[in-house]
C-alpha cells in the first residue's frame, strides 16, 4: 500500500473525521470573516431564497471550500458528496457549516443518491453539486445535473468563488484552498432552465449552456482576484456519466 493511501486512511478514520471537520469549519469561518468579499449577482440567488423554490446550485469541484458562505440564507440546502473515504471529511466540513450531505457518486451509491436528491428537492430543499465531480474531467459538466434538473423541474444556478490569496493544489480538480486575508469574489450566474424534454439534443444543449456559464464565471472571478484562471481539461466530458 502506498504512503498516500496510508495517510488517507489515517485522516479519514471515523474517530478523526468529525474533529477534522470542526477544524476545517473553524478555518473556513476565519477565512470568510477576515476576507474582503465582493458578491456579484446575488439578486439571482435571492430570487429563489425569497420564493422558497428549490434550485440546483452548480459549482466546480475545486471551489467547494467556501461554498456554504455563498448560500447566504437559512433556506435548506443539501450537497452531493462522494461516497469515497475523502468524502467523509467533506461531509463533516459541510455539516459543521450547516449544510447537509447526500452521499453517493457515479461509481458508488449513484441510484440511492439520486433518489435522495429527488426527495429532498421535492420537499423544498435546494441541491448543491459539482457537475465535474467526483473524479473529473476538471471543469467539464456531465449531464447528470441536467437530468436531475429535469426530473425535479428545478433550474440550475451556477456560482463561482475565487480568492486573491490561496493555494492551488495539483489535484485533478486544481483545488483552491483560500488563505486568511485578502480579497475574494463570489459570482452568481443566470439560472439555467431545465430541458423541455428528455431528448438527448435538448439535454446536451442545457449541459453546454451550464458548462459555458460556469467557465465564464470562474474565469471572471479569478481575473477579478488577480489570479491566473484555471483551465478546464481538454478531454471531452463523458456524457453518460451521471
177 is a domain residue: yes
Per residue in 61-95, pLDDT (tens digit) is 999 999 999 999 999 999 999 887 778 889 999 99
The whole-model pTM stands at 0.89
Residue 235 covered by a domain: no
Query: Grid coordinates in use for 204?
Result: 446536451
Residue 21 forms part of a structural domain: yes
Q: Between 182 and 5, whose confidence is greater?
A: 182
Q: Please indicate, yes or no, if residue 91 is contained in any of the structural domains.
A: yes
Closest C-alpha to 206, from 189, 191, 194: 194
Give the model's confidence band at 144: pLDDT under 50 very low, under 70 low, under 90 confident, else very high.
very high
Q: What is the 8-class DSSP label of residue 62?
A: G
Summarised one tens digit per residue, pLDDT across range 32-56 is 999 999 999 999 999 999 999 999 9
Instruction: Find where cell 461516497 sits.
Output: 83
**Residue 190 in this model has a pLDDT that exceeds 60:** yes
Residue 229 included in any domain: no
Range of the domain at 94: 3-224
Task: Evaluate whether residue 100 is within a structural domain.
Answer: yes
Q: Is residue 115 part of a domain?
A: yes
CA dist 93 and 48 (Å) reads 25
pLDDT tens-place string over residues 199-236: 999 999 999 999 999 999 999 999 999 999 999 998 65
CB atoms under 10 Å from CB of 182, counted, come to: 16
Q: What is the residue whose three cell numbers read 459539482?
A: 130
Strand partners, 165: none
CA-to-CA distance for 131 and 133, rounded, in angstroms? 6
Longest CA span, the chain: 51
Q: How confident is the model at residue 16 (pLDDT cuts 50, 70, 90)?
A: confident
Cis bond upstream, residue 137 (ω within 30):
yes
pLDDT at residue 10 is higher than 80: no
User: What percent of the chain stands above pLDDT 70?
Assistant: 88
DSSP at 236: P
Whether residue 240 is predicted with pLDDT greater than 50 in this model: the reply is no
Of residues 165 and 15, more confidence is placed in: 165
CATH code (residue 100): 3.40.1130.10
| Position 242 confidence tier, pLDDT thresholds 50, 70, 90 | very low
Element (H, E) at 20: helix 14-34
Q: Report which of 9, 30, 4, 14 is spatially closest to residue 177, judged by C-alpha positions.
A: 30
- Asked whether residue 241 is assigned to any structural domain, the reply reads no
Overall number of domains in the chain: 1
> What is the distance of C-alpha 20 from the center of its chain?
20
Report which of 41, 66, 72 is spatially closest to residue 216, judged by C-alpha positions: 41
3-state secondary structure of 58: strand
Give yes or no for residue 28 having a pLDDT over 80: yes
User: Which helix (H) or strand (E) element contains residue 152?
Assistant: helix 144-152
What mean pLDDT is predicted for residues 24-37? 96
pLDDT in tens, 88-120: 889 999 999 999 999 986 555 578 899 999 999
Amino acid at each position: 500500500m502506498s504512503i498516500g493511501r496510508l495517510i488517507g486512511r489515517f485522516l479519514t478514520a471515523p474517530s478523526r473525521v468529525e474533529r477534522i471537520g470542526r477544524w476545517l469549519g473553524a478555518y473556513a469561518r476565519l477565512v470568510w470573516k477576515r476576507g474582503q468579499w465582493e458578491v456579484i449577482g446575488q439578486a439571482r440567488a435571492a430570487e429563489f431564497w425569497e420564493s422558497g423554490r428549490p434550485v440546483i446550485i452548480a459549482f466546480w469541484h475545486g471551489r467547494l471550500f467556501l461554498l456554504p458562505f455563498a448560500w447566504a440564507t437559512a433556506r435548506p440546502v443539501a450537497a452531493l458528496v462522494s461516497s469515497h473515504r475523502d468524502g467523509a471529511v467533506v461531509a463533516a466540513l459541510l455539516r459543521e457549516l450547516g449544510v447537509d450531505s447526500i452521499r453517493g457518486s457515479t461509481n458508488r451509491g449513484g441510484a440511492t443518491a439520486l433518489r435522495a436528491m429527488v426527495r429532498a428537492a421535492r420537499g423544498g430543499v435546494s441541491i448543491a453539486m459539482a457537475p465535474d465531480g467526483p473524479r473529473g474531467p476538471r471543469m467539464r459538466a456531465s449531464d447528470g445535473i441536467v437530468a436531475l434538473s429535469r426530473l425535479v423541474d428545478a433550474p440550475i444556478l451556477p456560482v463561482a468563488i475565487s480568492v486573491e490569496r490561496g493555494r492551488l493544489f495539483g489535484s485533478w480538480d486544481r483545488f483552491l484552498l483560500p488563505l486568511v486575508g485578502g480579497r475574494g469574489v463570489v459570482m452568481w450566474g443566470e439560472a439555467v432552465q431545465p430541458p423541455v424534454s428528455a431528448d438527448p439534443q435538448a439535454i446536451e444543449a442545457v449541459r453546454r449552456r451550464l458548462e459555458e456559464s460556469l467557465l465564464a464565471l470562474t474565469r471572471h472571478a479569478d481575473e477579478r482576484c488577480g489570479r491566473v484562471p484555471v483551465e478546464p481539461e481538454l478531454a471531452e466530458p463523458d456524457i453518460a456519466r451521471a
